[in-house]
Amino acid sequence: VEIITDVAALQARTLGWRAGGLRVGFVPTMGFLHRGHTSLMSLARPRCDKVVVSIFVNPLQFGPAEDLDRYPRDPEGDAAKCEAAGVDLLFVPDTAGGGFYPGDFSTTVAVSGLTSGLCGGKRPGHFEGVTTVVARLFGMVQPSLAVFGEKDYQQLAVIRRMVRDLAMPIEVVGGPLVRDDDGLALSSRNAYLSDEQRARGLSLHRALVAIAASPEREVAALKARGQAMIEADRLDYLEIVDAETLAPLAEVDRPARALAAGFFGATRLIDNVAIAPK
Ligand code: AMP
C-alpha cells in the first residue's frame, strides 16, 4: 500500500485517477484498525477501481474532557491491515507544522435535527466536528463512493444527509456492525477496557438483543427492560427510534433501531441493533 502524508500529493494521485475514468472508494478512519474497519474496505474493494483509507484522529470531534490525547495508535499494524485488505492508498495527513487544518480555518459544516438526540445530545459539537472533517476529507480525496459503518449509526445517517443536502456526487455505503466472538461491538476504544469492564460492557449488546427479540411493542416498556439489564457505570442513553429519521418512537410500528451508549469506567461504548416491526 502506498502511504501519502501530503495533501497536494494525495490530490495529484486521486484527481489523476478520476481523470482517467477510475472510480475511487474512500474509507475514513481514526486508525487502530480492526475487523470493523477492514470490513468497510472489503465493501469498497469490488465497487471501485481504487480504494483510499485515511487515518486521522480529528481533534474537532472530541470534547474537552474526552480521550483525544490517549486515543490508541498503531501506524505499522494499520498499514499492514490496509495492505492485506487490498487498499491502494493510505492517507495519513501530516499533522506537524501547519497541521491538518490551516491556522485560520473558518468553516463549519453542521447538520441540524438529526444531530440533536442520541450521541449528538450527549457530545455537544461532536457531529459538527465529524461533518466538517468528512467534508474536508471528501474535498481532499475526491471519492466516487465512501463507506461508513453502522456501528456509528447516527453518524451514518448524518453523513448521508450532508451528502444529499450539499449535492455531493458521492455514493454513501453503510456497512454492517462487526462484533467480537462474545458479541461486543468492535471498537478501537475496547483497548481501554479492563476484563471486568469488558464483561459488563457485553450487557449493552445483551440488552439491545433482548429488546429486539421481545414481542412487546410499547417503547417505554422495552426501554425499562433494557435499562434493567445494562451494567454500565453510567448509562448515557438507551433509545428506540425510527430507523430512517432517528425520531423517538412511542411504539415500534415501523422499522426501528435500538441504540445505547454508556460508560464502563472512563470508556464510553456505543451499540445498536435493528428492530423489525411485528
Ligand atoms: P473510527 O475509526 O472509529 O472513526 O471508525 C471509522 C469507520 O469505521 C466508521 O465509519 C465506523 O462506523 C466504522 N466502524 C468502526 N467500528 C466498526 C464496527 N465494529 N463495525 C463496522 N464498522 C465499524
SS (H, E, C) 101-125: CCCCCCCCCCCCCCCCCHHHHHCCC
CB distance 103 to 31 below 8 Å: no
Residue 26 in contact with ligand 1 by CB distance below 6 A: no
Residue nearest to atom 22 of ligand 1 (CA): 149
How far is it, in rounded angstroms, from Cα 93 to Cα 10?
9
Question: Could you tell me the pLDDT band of residue 243, with boundaries at 50, 70 and 90?
Answer: very high
Mutate to test the pocket of ligand 1, among 60, 138, 151 (most ligand atoms within 8 A of CB): 151
Question: Could you tell me the pLDDT band of residue 98, with boundaries at 50, 70 and 90?
Answer: low
Q: How many CB atoms lie within 10 A of CB 19?
A: 8
Residue 78 in contact with ligand 1 by CB distance below 6 A: no
246, pLDDT greater than 80: yes
Question: Could you tell me the pLDDT band of residue 231, with boundaries at 50, 70 and 90?
Answer: very high
pLDDT by residue (tens digit) across 7-66? 999 999 999 999 999 999 999 999 999 999 999 999 999 999 999 999 999 999 999 999
Residue nearest to atom 18 of ligand 1 (CA): 36
Query: Quick one: 65 exposed, middle or buried, by C-beta within 10 A (0-12, 13-18, 19+)?
Result: exposed
Backbone region of residue 142 per phi and psi (left: phi > 0; alpha: psi in -120 to 50; beta: other values) = left
Distances (CA, A) of 10 to 57, 60, 129, 189, 273: 18, 22, 22, 29, 37
How many percent of the chain have pLDDT more than 70? 99
Residue 197 three-state SS = helix
Residue 269 in contact with ligand 1 by CB distance below 6 A: no
Q: What is the mean pLDDT of the chain?
A: 97
In b/e form, how buried is each residue of 158-184, taking b as 16+ CB within 10 angstroms?
bbbbbbeeeebebebbbbebbebeeeb
Residue 43 in contact with ligand 1 by CB distance below 6 A: no
- Note the pLDDT of residue 97: 61
How far apart are the CA of 159 and the centre of ligand 1, in A?
13
